[in-house]
A and B are shown apart, each in its own frame.
Chain A
Amino acid sequence: MFSLEEIKSRLEAAIPTARLEIVANPSPSGQHSLRVDRDSAVAVARLLRDHAELRFDYCSNVTGVDWLAAEWTEKVKIKQPVEGGEQEIEATRTARRPAHLEVVYHLYSMEHRQGPLILRLCTGDRTADSHLPSLTPIWRSCEFQEREVFDLFGVHFDGHPDLRRIFMWDEFKDFPMRKDYVEPDDYEYEPTPHDEVLAKARKHQLPEAPT
Chain B
Amino acid sequence: MKPEVETTVPRVELRPKDAAAGQWLEVAMGPHHPSTHGVFRMDVVLDGERIVQLKPVFGYLHRNHEKLGEGMSYLASIPYTDRLDYFCSLTNNWAYTLAVEKLAGLTVPERAEYIRIITAELTRLQNHACLAGFLLQDLGATGTPLMYAFREREKILDLFEALTGARMMCNYMRFGGCRCDLPEDWVPRAKKVVAETPRFIDEFENLLATNEILLARTQGVGALPAALAVNAGITGPMLRASGVNYDLRKVDRYGLYDRFAFKVPLGAHGDTYDRYFVRMLEMRESVKILEQALATIPDGPIIDPKTRLRGFRPKGGEAYGRIEAPKGELGFYLISDGGPNPYRYRIRPPSLINLTVLEDLCRGHTVADAVAILGSVDIVLGEVDR
- Please determine whether chains A and B interact with each other in the same assembly: yes
> Which positions in A face B, CB cutoff 8 Å?
25-29, 31, 49-50, 52, 55, 57-61, 63, 65, 104, 106, 110-111, 113, 116, 118, 136-145, 152, 161-162, 165-169, 176-177
Tell me, rounded to whole Å, the shortest Cβ–Cβ distance linking B63 to chain A. Answer: 10
Given the complex of chains A and B, what is the CA–CA distance between A65 and B343 in angstroms?
9
Q: Which of B332-372 contact A (CB under 8 A)?
A: 333, 335-336, 343-344, 346, 348, 352-353, 355-357
Inter-subunit contact B231/A140 (CB<8 Å): yes
Once A63-B346, A110-B244, A145-B353 are accepted as A-B contacts, the answer to whether A104 and B59 lie under 8 Å apart by CB is: no
Question: Given A60-B348, A169-B59, is A27 in contact with B356 using a C-beta cutoff of 8 Å?
Answer: no
21 A–B pairs (Cβ distance < 8 Å), ordered by A = A25-B318, A26-B316, A27-B319, A29-B105, A57-B230, A59-B233, A60-B331, A61-B333, A63-B346, A65-B343, A139-B7, A140-B228, A140-B232, A140-B356, A140-B357, A141-B234, A141-B356, A145-B352, A166-B58, A168-B59, A169-B59
Q: Closest Cβ of chain A: how far from B174's Cβ, in Å?
A: 18
Flag if A144 contacts B317 (CB, 8 Å): no
Residue pair A106, B356 in contact (C-beta under 8 Å): no
| B314 CB within 8 Å of chain A | yes
By a CB distance below 8 angstroms, the chain B residues around A168 are 59, 62
B284 an interface residue at 8 Å Cβ cutoff?
A: no
Establish whether residues B353 and A144, one from each chain, have CB atoms under 8 Å apart when the complex forms.
Answer: yes
Cβ-based interface call for B85 (8 A) = no
Q: How far is the CB of A113 from chain B (nearest CB, A)?
A: 6
Most chain B CB atoms below 10 A, which of A29, A49, A138: A29
User: Taking A60-B329, A110-B246 as contacts, is the C-beta distance between A31 and B8 under 8 angstroms?
Assistant: no
Whole-angstrom CA separation of A20 from B231 in the bound complex:
24
Q: In this complex, what residue of B is CB-closest to A152?
A: B66
Asked if B231 and A141 sit within 8 Å, CB to CB, the answer is: yes
A145 to B331: give the CA distance in the assembly, Å.
14
* Distance of A167 Cα from B64 Cα, bound (Å): 10
Closest chain-A Cβ to B20's Cβ sits at a distance in Å of 25
Complex CA gap A144/B11 in Å reads: 15
Q: How far is the CA of A61 from the CA of B42 in the complex (A)?
A: 24
Residues of A within 8 A of B11 (CB): 161-162
Q: Say yes or no: A27 contacts B9, CB within 8 Å.
A: no
CB <8 Å contact, B102 and A29: yes
Task: Among B322, B346, B357, find the residue whose CB has the most chain A CB atoms closer than 10 A.
Answer: B346
Which listed residue (B7, B66, B67, B251) contacts A113, Cβ 8 A? B251
A61–B348 contact, CB under 8 A? yes
A117 to nearest B CB, angstroms?
11
User: Measured between C-beta atoms, what is the minimum distance from A9 to chain B in Å?
Assistant: 22
- B314 interface neighbour in A27, A137, A145, A165, Cβ under 8 Å: A27
Q: Does residue B3 face the partner (Cβ distance < 8 Å to A)?
A: yes
- With both chains docked as a complex, state the minimum distance between the C-beta of B155 and any C-beta of chain A, in angstroms: 34
Q: Are A29 and B317 in contact (CB under 8 A)?
A: yes
Closest chain A CB from B223 CB (angstroms): 17
**Cα A139 to Cα B7 with chains together (Å):** 7
A31 to B333 CA separation, bound complex (whole angstroms): 11
Question: For residue B239, which residue of chain A has the nearest CB?
Answer: A110
Contacts of B1 in A (CB 8 A): 57, 111
Assembled-state Cα–Cα distance A111/B346 (Å): 26
Closest to A176 in B: B67
Q: Do residues B103 and A58 form an inter-chain contact, with CB atoms below 8 A?
A: no
Whether the pair A177, B333 counts as a contact (CB closer than 8 A) is: no
Shortest C-beta distance, A71 to chain B (Å), equals: 14
Q: Which residues of B contact A161 (CB under 8 A)?
A: 8-9, 11
Contacts of A143 in B (CB 8 A): 9, 232, 356
Given A57-B231, A137-B8, A139-B232: 4 more A-B contacts, CB < 8 Å: A28-B102, A141-B231, A144-B352, A162-B11
Closest to A138 in B: B7
Task: Tell me how far the C-beta of A182 lies from the nearest C-beta in chain B, rounded to whole angstroms.
Answer: 12
When the two chains form their complex, are residues A26 and B317 in contact, meaning their CB atoms are under 8 A apart? yes
Q: Let me know if B59 and A167 touch, CB within 8 A.
A: yes
Q: Which of B105, B233, B319 has the most CB of A within 10 A?
A: B233
